[in-house]
C-alpha cells in the first residue's frame, strides 16, 4: 500500500470489501501508515472494534510517532468519546510537540464538551504552530463566539476567509460573516 494510502481511506471504505482486502493485503501492507489507513477504513465502515485494533497496532508499530494516536483520537471524537479522544490527542502532542493538529482537535473535543474557554487555549497554542490554518481560525472563532466575544470571533472568521478551507468551512465562514 502506498505512502498516501491514509488520505485514500474514505474512497477505499466505499469500495467493494473484497477489492479493498486484496489491495490492503499486497506486499508492504504491514506498515505504520497502512495500519492507520486500515483503521480509518474500518471506522468509516462502522467497524469500531476493528478500527480500534488497527489503530492500536499502528501505535505499537510506531511508538514514537504521533499519527496513529491522532487518527484514533479523531475517530473517538466522531463517536462522541471526548475523554478517549482527548487522551489520544495529548499523547500525540507529547510525541510531536511542534505539531498543531492534536492541539486543534483537542480544542474541538473541549468545545464539543461545553468548554469553549479550554478550547480557546488549545486553539491559541495550535495557532502558534500553524497560524495559517483556516479550519483552526474558524473553530477558534466559534469558541470565542460561544464565550460572548463577538468582535474577536469576527476577526477569526475574517482571518479564516482568506485561508485554505474546505467547501463546508468556506460556506460556514460566509454565513458567519454575512
Secondary structure of residue 61 in the 3-state scheme: helix
pLDDT grade for 34, boundaries at 50, 70 and 90:
confident
Average pLDDT for residues 98-120, to the nearest whole number?
A: 98
Q: Which of 11-25, 37-51, 125-139 shows the highest mean pLDDT? A: 125-139
Average pLDDT for residues 41-63, to the nearest whole number?
A: 94
Q: What is the pLDDT of residue 2?
A: 44
Closest to 37 measured CA to CA, from 11, 64, 66, 62: 11
Q: What is the pLDDT of residue 122?
A: 98
Residue 50 pLDDT more than 80? yes
Sign of the Cα torsion 145, 149, 150, 154 reads negative
Q: What is the pLDDT of residue 23?
A: 58
Tell me how far the alpha carbon of residue 47 is from its chain's centroid: 19
Placement of cell 479523531 in the chain: 74
Q: What is the pLDDT of residue 7?
A: 60
* Residues 22-58 as b or e (16 or more Cβ within 10 Å = b): eebeeeeeeebbbbbbbbbbbbbeeeeeebbebbebb
- What pLDDT digit, counting tens, does each position of 69-100 carry? 999 999 999 999 999 999 999 999 999 999 99
With beta carbons less than 8 A apart as the criterion, state whether 147 and 136 touch.
Answer: no
pLDDT grade for 22, boundaries at 50, 70 and 90:
low
Placement of cell 489491495 in the chain: 23
- What pLDDT digit, counting tens, does each position of 138-168 carry? 999 999 999 999 999 999 999 999 999 999 9
What H or E segment, with its residue span, contains residue 38?
helix 32-44
pLDDT grade for 172, boundaries at 50, 70 and 90:
very high
Amino acid at each position: 500500500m502506498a505512502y498516501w494510502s491514509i488520505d485514500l481511506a474514505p474512497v477505499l471504505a466505499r469500495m467493494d470489501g473484497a477489492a479493498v482486502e486484496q489491495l490492503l493485503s499486497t506486499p508492504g501492507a504491514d506498515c505504520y501508515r497502512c495500519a492507520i489507513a486500515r483503521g480509518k477504513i474500518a471506522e468509516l465502515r462502522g467497524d469500531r472494534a476493528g478500527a480500534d485494533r488497527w489503530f492500536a497496532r499502528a501505535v505499537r508499530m510506531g511508538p514514537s510517532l504521533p499519527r496513529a494516536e491522532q487518527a484514533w483520537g479523531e475517530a473517538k471524537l466522531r463517536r462522541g468519546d471526548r475523554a478517549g479522544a482527548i487522551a489520544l490527542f495529548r499523547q500525540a502532542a507529547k510525541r510531536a510537540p511542534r505539531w498543531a493538529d492534536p492541539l486543534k482537535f483537542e480544542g474541538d473535543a473541549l468545545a464539543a464538551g461545553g468548554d469553549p474557554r479550554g478550547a480557546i487555549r488549545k486553539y491559541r497554542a495550535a495557532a502558534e504552530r500553524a497560524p495559517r490554518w483556516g479550519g483552526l481560525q474558524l473553530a477558534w472563532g466559534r469558541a470565542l463566539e460561544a464565550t460572548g466575544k463577538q468582535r474577536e470571533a469576527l476577526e477569526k472568521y475574517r482571518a479564516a476567509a482568506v485561508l485554505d478551507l474546505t467547501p463546508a468551512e468556506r460556506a460556514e465562514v460566509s454565513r458567519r460573516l454575512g
